[in-house]
Amino acid sequence: MNATILLALIPALAWGSVGLVNTKMGGSAGQQTLGMTFGALIFGLATMFFYVIPHHAYLGKEIWTVGIVSGLVWAIGTAGQFLAIKDLGVSLAIPLSTAGQIVANALMAAAVLGDWKTGKMWAVGVVSIVIVVIGATLISARDKATKSGASEQANNMTKGLVYLTVSTVGFMIYFVLPNFLNKINYISDEIKNQHNGIDYMTAIVGPQAIGQVIGAFIIVIFVLREANKMFERATWRNILTGLVWAVGNIFMFIAAANPAIGQTIATTFSQLGIIVATFGGIYLLGEKKTHYQMKLIILGTVLVVIGAIIIGNINQFA
């Protein structure tokens, strides 16, 4: 079990680094989103041609459907997150995004996928979600002593929270969709369980990357209206962001397919990248925080991690 949990923690390291990498690579939200999908496409096609096809994994229409649809909603989640980072900064946007995803994904996995099977599991799960929400509230607190620019700061906070709400919904659907379609029998157990679920999840990655690119083009052209900036240098730099993300993505799906880990543990542990993002934003990107804010951020981060760990071990309370 220890080795499988370590497997589930790889996405935390990779995804926790995404906000740091894309901020270093620069560019607009549209350029970052599009560049990231290009990196994901490179990784996804490599996975398809060098693993999925040689291993004769099933690549029928069901796989293409779940892959492309999950890629489209992922693009919505990513664009929303990058827009939020512009308004809130990495050290605030990513922790809030993380907390939202922990809550949304845990509830979806529990209520829709049936991962929480007893009253005790629901009780413990709800308490842990409250802990995560309290932690997120502490992380997002502003210094009461800070007066200058308060109006602009509040406006940025409001916009950032709207973007994060859209982002959370997109990521929630992206996380849950592969197992949900199995739950409603669109994906048969025979397809899903091949090679301990690894063939199913890795087969999704290629079609998913295509869906991500399609979704990114739609968002960049019609929502962000950045068609004239799509192929500038910043877009190509953010291919690196996509490659970092893709490593976390494939390990998250493999972990979610593993019966020893499951959807709830995999998605929860993947969000522990909050530690990398929060303190990386502060110490590597130089995002300014007061002493008061740092105390709340540390306490809030600890609470989010505790809540995530409890949710991740929810089966112990069955």
Mean pLDDT computed over every residue of the chain: 87
pLDDT at 275: 84
Q: What is the mean pLDDT of residues 288-311?
A: 88
In DSSP notation, 73-104 reads HHHHHHHHHHHHHHHH-HHHHHHHHHHHHHHH
For residues 188-210, average pLDDT: 88
Helices marked H in 89-149: 90-111, 119-139
The CA distance from 35 to 300, in Å, is: 32
Q: Is residue 309 part of a domain?
A: no
pLDDT band of 70, cuts 50, 70, 90: very high
Q: Is the pLDDT of residue 42 over 90?
A: yes
Decide if 135 contacts 99 (C-beta within 8 A): yes
Q: 137 lies in a domain?
A: no
Q: Out of 77-81, 111-115, 296-300, pick the least confident.
A: 111-115
Question: Is there a domain that residue 134 lies in?
Answer: no
For residue 207, the tally of other CB atoms under 10 A from its CB is 21
Mean of pLDDT values over 245-269:
78
Give per-residue pLDDT as tens, 107-147.
Answer: 888 888 888 888 999 999 999 999 988 988 888 777 665 55
CA distance 251 to 133: 26
- Please give the average per-residue pLDDT across 59-71, as a whole number: 95
Q: What is the pLDDT of residues 203-236, one digit of tens each?
A: 999 999 999 999 999 999 999 999 999 999 999 9
**Residue for token pair 């199913």:** 200
Q: At what angle do helices 2-25 and 239-257 cross, to 10 degrees?
A: 160
Highest mean pLDDT among 8-22, 88-102, 228-242, 275-289: 228-242
What is the predicted pLDDT for the residue at 250? 83
Residue 314 lies in a domain: no
What pLDDT was estimated at residue 186?
93
Helix locations, 140-219, DSSP H: 150-183, 189-192, 198-218
What is the reported pLDDT for 318?
Answer: 64
Q: What integer pLDDT is reported at residue 149 of this predicted model? A: 56
Position 127 in a domain: no
Q: What are the tokens at 274? A: 């909050």
Report the alpha-carbon distance of residue 288 to residue 310 in Å, rounded: 31
Place of tokens 């048969």: 188
Asked if residue 245 is part of any domain, the answer here is yes
Q: Given a cut of 80, is residue 53 above it in pLDDT?
A: yes
Inside any domain, residue 318:
no
Q: What is the DSSP letter of 263?
A: H
Please indicate whether residue 312 or residue 167 has the higher confidence score (pLDDT).
167
| pLDDT at residue number 1 | 52
The arithmetic mean of pLDDT across residues 43-56, rounded, is 93
The vertex-280 CA angle with 9 and 43, nearest 5°, equals 50
Domains contained in the chain, number:
1
Residue 57 located in a structural domain = yes
Q: Report whether pLDDT(163) > 60.
A: yes
Range of the domain at 187: 2-116+149-289
Mean pLDDT of 40-57: 93
Q: What amino acid is encoded at 223 in this protein?
A: V
Q: If you average pLDDT over residues 52-72, what whole number do you get?
A: 94
Quick check: 27 pLDDT over 90? yes
